[in-house]
Structure 1
Amino acid sequence: MRAAALLALCLLSHQGATAQGQLLFLDAYKHLSGSTPDGKSGQELTPFALGDKEGLQMLAAGRKYALFRHTSKDRDTVFIHDTATHQLEYTQEVPVNTDIAGPLFGDPDTFMLRTFVGATDKNSAFIVKLRAGKLLGTISTQGFKDSIRALPDGRLYRINDDSGRIAVAAADGGWRDIGALQIPPRLKISDWRISHRGDKLAIMYGSVDSGGVYRSDIWVANIDGSGQYRLTSQWDMMYPRWSPDDRYVAFQFDTTSSLINPAGLGGAGLYGHCSYWYAPVEASNVSGISYGKAHPIARQMYVKKSGREMADTCTLLAWEH
């Protein structure tokens, strides 16, 4: 009864709904671009390509983004932009391979900088005034197996990749356990995203099958790990992204990694399709998605890129206001 009621709710809420906000993605030349979710309007946001040592990180619950550009052997220049207007607010230099989280602890200029040297962060991160380049202190990270991001209320939020244990830290720097994800048997945490309100998680769990092909799906849980349920059930879904109002979860639908080429090698990436779709957050066990075909619950996302309307994208970085 519960599953049937949820499905009916999803269909009713989804019928006639139009996705809002803007999509940030990479075009064919790896330039950062923006588009409406219907693929009718868009613009290129960077004149340069984002390479392996350059990228984008979302800040302030999606209201700002940090754009990294590799400028020297051991330094990156980070450009802080307003997401709604794409206006540059300031720049700062940071060490290469640095993650930024924040703002923190009620201060719009305070952020965590976590620098990796090889596979280690030396179990600590810096708390800084980013605009001024001022060091405020350090905080323990518990090691590279813990992924750390910021909650909208300014606390740091940490998930252990192996155990699913969840902890938060406030301005005093002390970590407090609040719960744990229930990692499904034989699967591992591959990616996770905090909702814009900070009350839910979208998690990508996956594993390598007997043929050597990576398979994954998307789950949703409360921010403390409780109430977890499976959003998709097709094993071709990756990299979740929340809609600006948290009503939908977008995900990459990638069949290129699950097909077998004529030589019998799995995951060759020579066949199949890759695109982004979205489904209502109340949905569960969404399956039967097929490229180019309408689905009763999920919808395909489109972007405008290189002047072409309603194009597919396989590189959705964020879905924001």
Structure 2
Amino acid sequence: MGLLPPSRSRGSRRCWAAVLVAAPLVWLAACGGGGGGGGGGGSVAPAPSGPGPSIAAPTGRLWHHNYALDFLDGTQIASATGGPPMAVTPEAEAIPWPDGSQYVTAEWDLRTDRTAVRVHATASGAVLHEAAVDQYFRAPRPAPHRKEWVLGRVSDSVTTAGVYAVIDLAARRVLDQFPADDAAVDWLPDGRYVHVTHDGRISIGTVGVAARQAVGQLALPRGLTVNEVWADPQGRRLALRLWSKSEAGTIDVSDLWVSDLDGRNAYRHTQTRMTNRARWSPDGRLIAFDVDTGSLCDFSGCVGHCELWYADADAREVTALPAAGDARQFRVRNRSGQERVLGCDLLGWTP
């Protein structure tokens, strides 16, 4: 199966278009599903009365590209417990494997219109696998069970959904691909993936197997649809971005909800109306999230700033306001040893 010709529209670097990929991939000379849906009914749990749960202290390593921390481009690793930071790469966003031992980068080259996808060892920075994909490959998600597999999303522009593709970088081939126009996808810790349609149908798939197993239905509040999903490291719960859009296509509300893997016991985790991304702590106790006033855009553009917060995963209706005390901001040390608040974006959270 050959590559499909893409359109040539491009956005900003943070919103670069991806392009439709079909097996086999085209590699640089230097480089070494269907089915599913339906199922049982989920339920939206009411918010508890009284004070919320206390917030556990964060641990582990925080992968970020918060330029303001040290005025450095690229990815750094901050310690959640006050240790010194570590520079990872000066150019690319580095997305780590769950154990933090290696990371993947995806760098699009405007001149060649190709994306260089590389897997690096964290300790040394050495390239372990490298391949080039025609056009743009975005938002890579490393497979928790395989050090050479990456799930990514590819499309022909920022306004089209395209497909999800699972790539074996060692074998240099596409293992699976399926449409992304109506679903969000993430890995489960055992190597399967969870597939959630925009209307809340949840199924579980296996790479290379067309049919998925329907496991449940998320009961969505009126007017909201599923835009993104993140499975917890234990494979028991989901964090989901639910949003609504205006008739003009701008985002009105964007917040995180949490549910069991089958969609049951769902509750609204954040009540900021401006939260777009989530990262689970390695032990699944906490969820890090952004509050991005720049995500609410109109025809005049996007303005504002982004803050990074964390709260207990069991917390509900989190407003992330200092006076509320229902969430906290990460305090880490920069390269000069000064304590600073860590800002957006959080690329990964590893032990």
1:238 positional shift: 2.7
1:320 aligns with 2:350: yes
In structure 1, what residue type is equivalent to 2:190? D
1:87/1:19 CA distance change after superposition, 3 Å: same
1:253/1:181 CA distance change after superposition, 3 Å: same
1:138 positional shift: 4.6
Q: What is the TM-score of this pair, normalised by structure 1?
A: 0.76
Structure with larger RCO (C-alpha < 8 A, sep 6+):
2
Residue from 187, 190, 193 that aligns with 1:153: 190
Task: Determine the C-alpha separation between the residues in 2 that align with 1:312 and 1:76.
Answer: 29
Unaligned 5+ runs, structure 1? none
1:65 positional shift: 2.5
1:209/1:75 CA distance change after superposition, 3 Å: closer
1:286/1:82 CA distance change after superposition, 3 Å: same
* Structure 1 segment 29-68 matched on structure 2, within 5 A: 29-37=72-80, 41-48=84-91, 50=92, 55-60=93-98, 64-68=102-106
Task: Determine the C-alpha separation between the residues in 1 that align with 2:241 and 2:166.
Answer: 28
- Matched residue, 1:24: 63
- Matched residue, 2:209: 173
Residue from 132, 154, 178 that aligns with 1:141: 178
Structure 1 consecutive aligned stretches of length 4 or more whose deviation exceeds 6 Å: none
Task: Determine the C-alpha separation between the residues in 1 that align with 2:294 and 2:151.
Answer: 36
In structure 1, what residue type is equivalent to 2:277? Y
* Structure 1 segment 113-262 matched on structure 2, within 5 A: 115-118=154-157, 119=160, 121=162, 125=165, 128=168, 130-133=169-172, 135=173, 138-160=175-197, 162-170=198-206, 173-174=209-210, 175-208=212-245, 214-256=252-294
1:278 aligns with 2:310: yes
Q: What is the TM-score of this pair, normalised by structure 2?
A: 0.70
Task: Determine the C-alpha separation between the residues in 2 that align with 1:38 and 1:267.
Answer: 38
Task: Determine the C-alpha separation between the residues in 1 that align with 2:97 and 2:90.
Answer: 22
- Matched residue, 2:39: none
3-state SS of paired residue (1:214): strand
Task: Determine the C-alpha separation between the residues in 2 that align with 1:301 and 1:266.
Answer: 32
Task: Determine the C-alpha separation between the residues in 2 that align with 1:101 and 1:237.
Answer: 20
In structure 1, what residue type is equivalent to 2:220? I
Task: Determine the C-alpha separation between the residues in 1 that align with 2:49 and 2:287.
Answer: 20
3-state SS of paired residue (1:141): strand
**Contact 1:286 1:297 (8 Å CA) reproduced:** yes
- Deviations for 1:49-99, whole angstroms, at most 9, x for unmatched residues? x4xxxx44444576643112234624322222356x474351311313235
1:311 aligns with 2:341: yes
1:103 positional shift: 3.5
Task: Determine the C-alpha separation between the residues in 2 that align with 1:62 and 1:195.
Answer: 16
Task: Determine the C-alpha separation between the residues in 1 that align with 2:333 and 2:227.
Answer: 29
Task: Determine the C-alpha separation between the residues in 2 that align with 1:309 and 1:111.
Answer: 34
- Matched residue, 1:301: 330
Could you say what the CA RMSD is over the residues aligned between the two structures, in angstroms? Answer: 3.5
Aligned residues: 294
1:3 aligns with 2:10: no
Task: Determine the C-alpha separation between the residues in 1 that align with 2:152 and 2:47.
Answer: 44
1:252 positional shift: 0.8
Task: Determine the C-alpha separation between the residues in 2 that align with 1:116 and 1:87.
Answer: 29
1:187 positional shift: 1.6
1:306/1:238 CA distance change after superposition, 3 Å: farther
3-state SS of paired residue (1:217): strand
